[in-house]
Amino acid sequence: MRLAILTSLCLAMASCGNDDDDDNNEVAPSADAGFTETITDVPSDYKSSSQFFTLTEGLVPAAEKSPHGANQIWYSTAVQGFVGQAGFTAPVGTIAVKEYDASGDGEVDGIAVMIKQAAGYDPDNNDWYYDYRDVDGTIKSQPSPGANQTCIGCHAVWPEQDYLPGLLILSE
């Protein structure tokens, strides 16, 4: 089963871009009812906070074609009950913080963040905000933060896990 899931992820990631793709691949947030303000704050203590958890001990190899390389992900405890499950929707404010080693040297190169926004932010893509950050937490301007199509292209193949495939893959 794990091999089938990893194979599916590899195939999905093969269609993904990388950080050097389009300079501006953001989709403007929708003005639909419900959406008010974009949440972008990530606590700096996510690694030690009782409000976050991880399913791995250190960096783990990424799926083939992943733009992130080896990585370790911390999730808001709001989704802890969904580990290994399908058919859920993450609550607004849920955060996934992925430290990644794209260079393969064993050191964290940056951070990729997903934050669940209020209904109406990007309803066609489950209302997720995406950004890349420097290791100090500073949001990078490229790729464009927001409803980033490069990020969405990879994560959208996991709708049963509300775009959070690591909750299923890493739990097995």
- Read off the pLDDT of residues 94-152 as tens digits, 9 standing for 90 and up: 999 999 999 999 999 999 999 999 999 999 999 999 999 999 999 999 999 999 999 99
Query: For residue range 20-51, what is the model confidence (pLDDT) as tens digits?
Result: 444 434 444 444 456 678 999 999 999 999 99
Mean pLDDT score across all residues of the chain? 83
* Cβ neighbour number for residue 77 with a 10 Å cutoff: 12
Instruction: Tell me the mean pLDDT in the region 3-13.
Output: 37
User: Could you give the CA distance from residue 165 to residue 9 in angstroms, rounded to a whole number?
Assistant: 8
Contacts of 92 (CB under 8 A, 6+ apart): 39, 116, 117, 118, 119, 127
pTM to 2 decimal places? 0.81
Domain boundaries, the chain: 2-169
Q: What pLDDT was estimated at residue 99?
A: 97
- Domain 2-169, classified CATH 3.50.30, yes or no: no
